[in-house]
Amino acid sequence: MECDRRVGVAVDFSPCSKKALKWAVDNVVRDGDHLILVNVRPEGNYEDGEIQLWAATGSPLIPLNELSDPIIMKKYGVKPDPETLDIVNTAAKQKQIMVILKIYWGDPREKLCEAIDNIPLSCLIIGNRGLGKIKRAILGSVSNYVVNNGSCPVTVVKIAEH
């Protein structure tokens, strides 16, 4: 693969996204890579002017030190959990990688595919919520859509059924 790899991980701070992030750090991310966390927020009525400006293109790239700052994250409407922050802070120190967050607003299926092209990503790792067949038929699987429509290699990390 190329030397300036941008490894994307779809994060929504759920247990399955944390598992995908941990898997990516343990199995894919190498020293010197850029780890790009891609978060898709639901569309809403945001009164904050900046968010309206970013609705089409997504947020600016947010470095790790700002990702760890709750006041800055509140501006974006994102609340990273301590476990996710611990995973990325540890990876940044141990592997000498740059960690960046990019936020989009809208349909996760479309926005993740957009992120692949616009950032651009070398690969994307995404968690699987493990919807049953009926829910998946009604809601549609985000991971399935991105695997079929994304323009880079996409890895789906499944949560083991208990």
% of the chain residues with pLDDT over 90? 63
Cα distances (Å, whole numbers) of residue 105 to 2, 15, 63, 77, 125: 29, 21, 19, 11, 19
**pTM, to two decimals:** 0.89
On the question of pLDDT at 52 being above 90, the answer is no
Give φ, ψ of 31 to 5 degrees.
-50, 135
User: Over the stretch 59-101, which tens digit does the pLDDT of each residue have?
Assistant: 999 999 999 999 999 888 888 999 999 999 999 999 999 999 9
Domains of the chain, first to last: 6-158 (3.40.50.620)
Q: What does the pLDDT read at residue 62?
A: 95
Strands 98-105, 62-63: pairing is: antiparallel
User: Over the stretch 19-34, which tens digit does the pLDDT of each residue have?
Assistant: 999 999 999 999 999 9
Q: What does the pLDDT read at residue 30?
A: 95
Q: What does the pLDDT read at residue 77?
A: 84
CB 95 within 8 Å of CB 31: yes
At residue 3 the predicted structure's pLDDT band, cuts being 50, 70 and 90, is low
